[in-house]
Amino acid sequence: MIPRPLPRRRARGSVIILVLVTVLLVAFLLTKFVQRAGTELMADARAGDRARLRREAYSALEATLAVLADLRITAEGLHSPAQGWEQALEYAGHVPAAGLAVAIEVGDESGKISLPRADAATLEVLLEVLGLGRNEAERIADALLAWTHPDHVANAPEVDGGKYERAALPYQPALRPLRSFGELASVAYAREFFFDDSGQPTALAREFEANVSLYSFDRVNLNAATPVALAVGGLDTGQIDALQSHLRRQRASDRQKYFRTAGEAATVLGPAAWQAFGSEAAALRVTVTVRGGATAYRLSAVVAPPGGATLAMAAGSAEPDDGVEESAPVIIKKLDYPFKVLEIRENLESTLAPAVESPAHD
């Protein structure tokens, strides 16, 4: 039997359906292609923005350091932000690239207490000033020293090495100075005061970080010292108020706005109270924020002038350059940089919301 051909109308409908399915498939593939291409283009654009903002941040950092080096020579030392640290870019005539905004913040790390140099008595006084009781302060100081000093003999059993060995996941004390404030979460007993049950820093932890530096230096800079650092240094409430009032009056006038030597503070503090302090910055934290559109790039560097702060080293360890023998003659002249860079941290943020950071050694 010879099959009958399909009606022309039915064949035409089948072709239309086939064309529509093909068009739908092509549209779907094109949509996916455009989405993927858009994502890749956005990633490339963000990478380009990151490189552009990063270059600008380092340019602003170099300009700021150049101004600080100039002030250090002309003013015979870096003493106080009143010397114009915050206006370093204006002083240098630095103009950011088109479409970018640059802001700098210069903080004096030596206005805090040097944690690597703090002994048991200093730590106990510090913790008491921050609001802890005598017994708690003594035990936390004991725990911190047991964690950071290999020769420290713990007074309480809950902070000695056996406490860490008996943990659910056994570990050992670092036996070297702290490298970040987050490391406090590993210190037996102390972590109960610095972090809550959810692992978030407590108010005590934030106050501790605000008044303590992880870098090693001899004296707190009297011109930038926090009230807590002044109290730990031996000043009473009346002396602290008198000192801060004196500096405020000086900065509001045309007279000298800071102490060039700690001895100049004798007229305010008395003949002996100033001897625990210095008058120059031992370490400066320079934070550069570059904004472009909806993104912000932040660069943070800690630098020390000659003879200033150093990285905290474990007891008995040598400086990184000690004992290293050159296998070949040095053919590149060493850059005579005006500061020693102790730390550099950088990050790119997707929005302008500030990030919460803790200083750490990279």
Can you give the CATH number for the domain in which 268 is found?
Answer: 1.10.40.60
Cβ distance 307 to 356 under 8 Å? no
What 3-state class would DSSP assign to 350?
Answer: coil
For residue 140 the two structure tokens come to 């936390």
81 inside domain:
no
The verdict on residue 107 lying in a domain is no
Residues composing the chain: 362
Distance CA 274, CA 267 (A): 10
Q: Does residue 120 belong to any structural domain of this protein?
A: yes
Annotate 256-324 with DSSP letters as a single string: --S-SSGGGGHHHH-TTGGGGEESS-S-EEEEEEEEETTEEEEEEEEEE-TT--B----TTPPPTTTTP
pLDDT in the model for residue 262 = 81
The contacts of residue 306 (CB under 8 Å, 6+ apart) are: 338, 340
Q: What is the pLDDT of residue 1?
A: 52
Global model pTM greater than 0.85: no
Report how far residue 98's alpha carbon sits from residue 14's, in angstroms, rounded to the nearest whole number: 60
Residue 232 lies in a domain: yes
Q: For residues 215 and 211, what is the distance between their CA atoms, to the nearest angstrom?
A: 12
User: CA 239, 245, 248, 252: dihedral to nearest 10 degrees?
Assistant: -140
pLDDT of residue 267: 81
Task: Tell whether the torsion through CA atoms of 164, 169, 172 and 174 is positive or negative.
Answer: negative
187 part of a folded domain: yes
pLDDT at res. 276: 81
**The pLDDT of residue 284:** 95
Q: Would residue 9 count as lying in a domain?
A: no
* Residue 175, in any domain of the structure: yes
Name which of 122, 114, 115, 81 is nearest 231 in CA terms: 122
Q: How far apart are CA 239 and CA 29, in angstroms?
A: 76
Domain count of the chain?
1
Amino acid 322: pLDDT: 44
Structural domain of 146: 115-278
**What string of pLDDT tens digits covers the 362 residues of the chain?**
555 555 555 566 677 777 777 878 777 777 877 777 666 555 545 555 788 899 999 999 999 999 999 999 988 899 988 888 878 899 888 888 888 999 999 999 999 999 999 999 999 999 999 999 999 999 999 999 999 999 988 887 777 777 788 888 888 889 999 999 999 999 999 999 999 999 999 999 999 999 999 999 999 999 999 999 999 999 999 988 988 888 888 877 767 788 888 888 888 887 776 778 999 999 999 999 999 887 889 999 999 999 999 998 765 555 544 444 444 454 555 567 889 999 999 884 433 343 334 444 43
State the pairing for strand pair 212-213/340-349: unpaired
C-alpha 304, offset from chain centre: 14
User: Whole-angstrom distance between the N-terminal and C-terminal Cα of the chain?
Assistant: 88
Q: What pLDDT, on the 0 to 100 scale, is given for residue 334?
A: 57
* Sole residue written with tokens 């400086």: 319
Which residue, among 290, 283, 287, 284, has the nearest Cα to 300 in the 3D structure?
287
Helix (H, G, I), strand (E, B) or coil at 123: helix
The answer as to whether 119 is a domain residue is: yes
Structure tokens at 240: 């602290």
E-assigned strand segments in 157-228:
212-213, 220-221
Radius of gyration of the chain from Cα atoms? 30
pLDDT of residue 326: 46
CA distance 59 to 96: 9
